[in-house]
Amino acid sequence: MAITLTSLAQLAQLGFDDIIDVRSPAEFAEDHIPGAINLAVLDDAERAEVGTIYKQDSPFRARKIGAALVAANAAAHLQGPLADKPGGWQPLVYCWRGGQRSGSFASILSQIGWRVELVSGGYKAYRSLVVQALYDQPFPCPVILLDGNTGSAKTALLHRLAARGIQVLDLEGLAHHRGSLFGAMAGGQPSQKAFESALAAAIDSLDPTRPVVIEAESSKVGNCRLPPMLWKAMIAAERFEVVAPVAARARYLVTAYADLVADTTRLTGVIGRLRNAHSAEQIDLWQTQAATGAFEPLAASLMAAHYDPRYSRHRARVERGLEQGLEHGLETFSVDDLGDAALNALADCMAQHVAAKGPDPRQ
């Protein structure tokens, strides 16, 4: 039996023990249904081989070779990851478009006695729901943008707001990137499709009757592009702006980017990527500061000469757009320190402001 997906929320309601993606590892790595495990019935090389035979030789021969490979790989899965599954185990299986790969694997599982179901239309049907949610539908919640210059501890505040029951959308967490040239994180970023899958799932879990706090970003977080509907909502959103002295922001950045501070070779390399925007003398100074461990002066100088001016230009572009009839509230939160105690107090204050705009998150 094939299940037709009608919403992203439906996936969590189906109640299957496992969701199995039988596509190749490369297909799975690019994107997959959240929570799925990969039990490929054709690996990347086998899929390419069968596809080549199908196009250049004979569809019949390709199906015969493919069937043998699927059977062998299915046997390996049965003797490996599935060896201890009980008789009442219920899996949901899908491939690219609900065709031969998932059908063949599901047939083998059903012959054993497991109650297996297929996703009608496979991954393509799921992907169409993601596209619909992100590109065709308006963003569902009122948005409050958590704004402020670089180093204003916006991400730390976002996490503290979440801990206080405030509804948040962590774009940097979903994109696995801190949002600036210096923001790369270990393990790299997800593909655009995988980012959109995670984003769509996060948005689907939001309560549309409550405001959601989102950290101010550009239209891209690293290499991950924000969908137009989300970006439009962010541009028009009310803003909470954190204002803090350069010295406090520099101290915070040294802590927040501890991984980069610990790798001066990587740090100086990233600084070198700013050569098109700054003089050779400025780049040399920053690289010397990095090499000698003058991290707070480096952070302060980068903000003063590079990030704060960029932020001001971005703000001006936003304001020009808002003059075209969009309402745009602004609340400013000024602090002298960005240590833990100060951030906790600031998060308490912001949480009260957010709660006043919608249903109490503690109810």
Helix H or strand E encompassing 313: helix 308-322
Q: Is 95 a catalytic residue?
A: yes
Per-residue pLDDT tens over the stretch 199-210: 999 999 999 999
330 contacts: CB under 8 Å, gap ≥ 6: 238, 239, 241
pTM beyond 0.75, yes or no: yes
Would you state the pLDDT for residue 314?
A: 72
| Contact predicate 10/125, CB 8 Å | no
Name the active-site residue from 95, 141, 224, 349. Answer: 95
What is the CATH architecture of 140-355? 3-Layer(aba) Sandwich (3.40)
What secondary structure letter does DSSP report for 184?
A: B
| Contact predicate 353/240, CB 8 Å | yes
CA angle 129-115-98, nearest 5°?
35
Question: Which pLDDT band holds residue 340 (cuts at 50, 70, 90)?
Answer: very high
What secondary structure letter does DSSP report for 307?
A: I
The CATH fold of domain 2-132: Oxidized Rhodanese; domain 1 (3.40.250)
Residue written as tokens 């009757």? 209
Burial string for 20-32 (b: 16+ CB within 10 Å, else e) reads bbbbbeebbeebb
Chain Cα centroid distance, residue 314? 23
Using the predicted structure, report yes or no on whether residue 361 has a pLDDT greater than 70. no
218 contacts: CB under 8 Å, gap ≥ 6: 179, 314
- Bridge partners (DSSP) of residue 38 are 21
Would you state the pLDDT for residue 360?
A: 45
| Contact predicate 135/196, CB 8 Å | no
Q: Provide mean pLDDT across the span 234-246.
A: 95
Per-residue pLDDT tens over the stretch 122-168: 999 999 999 999 999 999 999 999 999 999 999 999 999 999 999 99
> How many Cα atoms occupy the beta-carbon half-sphere of 45 within 13 Å?
0
281 contacts: CB under 8 Å, gap ≥ 6: none
Q: Taking the domains of the chain in order of start, what are their residue ranges?
A: 2-132, 140-355
Structure tokens at 73: 């790989």
Q: Provide mean pLDDT across the span 267-291.
A: 96
Taking all residues of the chain, what is their mean pLDDT, rounded to a whole number?
93
- Bridge partners (DSSP) of residue 332 are 241
Question: Which pLDDT band holds residue 313 (cuts at 50, 70, 90)?
Answer: confident
Structure tokens at 206: 């939001």
